[in-house]
Amino acid sequence: MARGGINKAVVERARQALLSKGAYPSIDAVRVELGNTGSKTTIARYLKELDAQAPAQASSRERMGDELKALVESLLDRLTEEGAEVVAQAQADFERKREAWEARLETLESELKSARQQCESQHAALTEQGAQLHTTHSSWQSELTRNAGLSQQCQDLERRVQDKDVQIQSLEEKHVHARAALEHYREAIKEQREQDQRRHDAQLQQIQVEQRKLQETLVVKQDESTRLNRDNERLLGEMRQQARSLADQQDQTQRLATELRDAQMTTAKADGAREQLQEQLTAIKAESKTLATALALASEQLAQANQRVTVLSEDNDRLRAQVQLIIAAAPPIQT
């Protein structure tokens, strides 16, 4: 029995191939032509049957027809194989490039989507920062107005403190003059009393009366001095309270100045962030243009690949038509 894949038709094609090459179709030559496969006994039996079917001597025209037919068939097979390989290779290249461009397109669409989302988030951040900047500017204007009012209040308080200082100085001068007058008066009364005692003992009663008057006057003066001392202490307390209020207002003014500087720094940072976001938006727009250009180039290359496949298909059809014409023009094989 013959091995799988070895039959009479296969042996006949190997025999015709050897004849077309001008070689004698021996058993070994046919087996080599078959790729060193098949049993020699089977090949010999098929060759014997083929020799019995073929005429004893073939004319040169018949051999030429066989050779031409084998050559045409070989050429047709070779053209078919090469065309199929070229088409398969072109199709594989096209599929590979198409898959690559589709993956690239998906990546670009994803990047574009991400860039749009980033642009939208950055636009929202810019809007929020603009609102914060407007609020900060309004707060800054309010603080400026408040600072101006506090400055005016500070100036008013300073003028009031100066007026109080002048009043205190005047009261101190009056107090000094009153004390000096009282001391002078006491000395005068003492001298007058001593003189009156030395001069006239008879005038003791009058002197005592005058002394009582002087004591009453002294009490009045002492009350006045006490009242002046109390007024002085009260004015000193008010001055200290106003000084503390002035210090608190100065601290508040410094704090407001610090907050104003912080607000100005925040405004500057917001301006810097807005400029940076605008630069990023410009870069994203430029990248989108680049991606659109790359997509157009990919579409053009895909169209060129389709045109190439169409040309290869047309060439293959044209070669098939030429082979059919050659076969039709070949002389019939006489048996």
Identify whether the C-beta of residue 157 lies closer than 8 Å to the C-beta of residue 239.
no
Q: What is the DSSP string of 80-100?
A: HHHHHHHHHHHHHHHHHHHHH
- Asked if 41 and 121 sit in the same domain, the reply is no
- Asked if 128 and 11 sit in the same domain, the reply is no
Identify whether the C-beta of residue 246 lies closer than 8 Å to the C-beta of residue 155.
no
**Where do we find the tokens 């101190």?**
172
The conformational region for residue 163 under phi > 0 = left, psi -120 to 50 = alpha, else beta, is: alpha
Asked whether residue 96 is assigned to any structural domain, the reply reads: no
pLDDT of residue 58: 47
pLDDT of residue 63: 57
pLDDT of residue 284: 75
Q: Is residue 57 over pLDDT 50?
A: no
Phi, psi values for residue 21, rounded to 5°: -85, -5
- Asked if 277 and 145 sit in the same domain, the reply is yes
Asked whether residue 79 is assigned to any structural domain, the reply reads: no
pLDDT of residue 62: 54
Q: Tens digit of pLDDT for each residue in 85-131? A: 787 788 888 888 888 998 988 899 889 988 888 888 888 888 888 88
- Asked if 162 and 47 sit in the same domain, the reply is no
Asked whether residue 87 is assigned to any structural domain, the reply reads: no
Count H helices and E strands in the chain, helices first: 5, 0
Q: What is the DSSP string of 117-173?
A: HHHHHHHHHHHHHHHHHHHHHHHHHHHHHHHHHHHHHHHHHHHHHHHHHHHHHHHHH
Q: Tens digit of pLDDT for each residue in 294-332? A: 778 877 887 887 888 788 878 878 877 877 787 777 655
Q: Tens digit of pLDDT for each residue in 61-91? A: 455 566 676 777 777 777 777 777 787 788 8
- Asked if 18 and 141 sit in the same domain, the reply is no
Q: Which residues contact 71 (CB under 8 A, 6 or more apart)?
A: 20
Asked whether residue 90 is assigned to any structural domain, the reply reads: no
Nearest Cα to Cα of residue 163 among 70, 238, 271: 238
Asked whether residue 70 is assigned to any structural domain, the reply reads: no
pLDDT of residue 56: 47
Q: Is residue 162 over pLDDT 60?
A: yes
Q: Give the chain's mean pLDDT.
A: 80
- Asked if 48 and 168 sit in the same domain, the reply is no
Give the model's confidence band at 2: pLDDT under 50 very low, under 70 low, under 90 confident, else very high: very low
CATH number at residue 161: 1.10.287
Percent of the chain topping pLDDT 70: 90
* Top-confidence residue, 112 or 253: 112
Q: Tens digit of pLDDT for each residue in 185-195? A: 788 888 887 88
Arithmetic mean of pLDDT, 278-284: 81
- Asked if 44 and 193 sit in the same domain, the reply is no
Domain range enclosing 288: 102-318
pLDDT of residue 281: 78
Asked whether residue 175 is assigned to any structural domain, the reply reads: yes
Q: What is the 3-state secondary structure (H, E, C) of 11-75?
A: HHHHHHHHHHCCCCCCHHHHHHHCCCCCCHHHHHHHHHHHHHHCCCCCCHHHHHHHHHHHHHHHH
pLDDT of residue 64: 58
pLDDT of residue 1: 37
pLDDT of residue 59: 46
Give the model's confidence band at 206: pLDDT under 50 very low, under 70 low, under 90 confident, else very high: confident
Q: What is the 3-state secondary structure (H, E, C) of 248-261?
A: HHHHHHHHHHHHHH
Q: Is residue 290 over pLDDT 70?
A: yes
Arithmetic mean of pLDDT, 265-276: 81
* Domain-terminating residue out of 14, 31, 54: 54
Arithmetic mean of pLDDT, 133-147: 84
pLDDT of residue 295: 76
pLDDT of residue 332: 57
How many domains are contained in the chain?
2
- Asked if 21 and 114 sit in the same domain, the reply is no
Give the model's confidence band at 225: pLDDT under 50 very low, under 70 low, under 90 confident, else very high: low
